[in-house]
Amino acid sequence: MAPRRNISAEEFAKQRLRDPDAARREQQFGEARRRVTERHMIASAPILAELARAGFRFETLNALRTSGIQYTAAIPILLNRLPKVEDNSVRQSIAMLLAVPWAKPIAAATLICELDRGGNVNDDYTRWCLSNALAITADETVTEDVIRLARNTRLGKAREMVVLALGKLHDRRAVDTLLQLLADDAVAGHAISALGKLRASRAAPSIEAFLTHPMDWVRTEAAKALRSIKHRPTKTI
């Protein structure tokens, strides 16, 4: 396939003239984006109002997330609102707001409940956002739930982040589960990364087998994990 080249504004205009449907598609795309933005603003308005009453005055949830402040007092509000929100874009915004160290461990239980919800409550990206937040906020008090979710293939790619969450749990059960997940091609590389973070010395022989894995990033994770284990091995888990 020939590489794509940059085109000038004049060439782009000529292409649009040759494609009479281009303008219509652009208009439809723009209208769709506006509808999504409008739904997001309507759904997030009550949350922003409650946050404002608590002293967090921002026009959008993303503005709070990128403000640079440690919004510890906002966490309970966000946790209370998350199960009540149906709009996926707002659920994603809340999950990203919860993906911070100061939401640990209080946010973990709610995130697990939201990942457990069936039906069409969460789309793929929402599940990923929830799982990413769980990877940051989980601790040993939710070990059993994280193990259960890590084995739940219905989570799709979001399961990768749950597997990484196991790497934060200094519990023999977490290591046992990660060793089992090495046989699961969908998350084996993430299991290796988690075992490396735990520096579980008993995992080293199993990880060594991945040094010749066909995927480069998996080989890299295996080498990194083995270096971490060799430098500071943990034998208690």
Q: Which long-range contacts (CB under 8 A, 24 or more apart) does 82-88 make?
A: 82/110, 82/114, 83/110, 83/113, 83/114, 85/43, 85/47, 86/43, 86/121, 87/39, 87/40, 87/43, 87/44, 88/122, 88/123, 88/125, 88/126
How high is the pLDDT of residue 5? 59
Cα separation, 233 vs 70, whole angstroms = 34
Model-level pTM? 0.84
* The residue to which tokens 């002293």 are assigned: 55
Q: Which CATH superfamily is domain 170-237 in?
A: Leucine-rich Repeat Variant (1.25.10.10)
87: which 2 tokens? 């709009």
How high is the pLDDT of residue 120? 76
Tell me what the pLDDT averaged over the chain comes to: 91
Given a cut of 50, the residues of the chain with pLDDT beneath it are 1
Residues 159 and 150: beta-carbon distance below 8 Å: yes
How high is the pLDDT of residue 16? 61
How high is the pLDDT of residue 118? 72
How high is the pLDDT of residue 23? 65
pLDDT in tens, 17-68: 666 676 667 766 667 677 878 999 999 999 999 999 999 999 999 999 999 9
How high is the pLDDT of residue 26? 74
Q: How does DSSP classify residue 119?
A: T
What are the sequence ranges of the domains in the chain? 60-161, 170-237
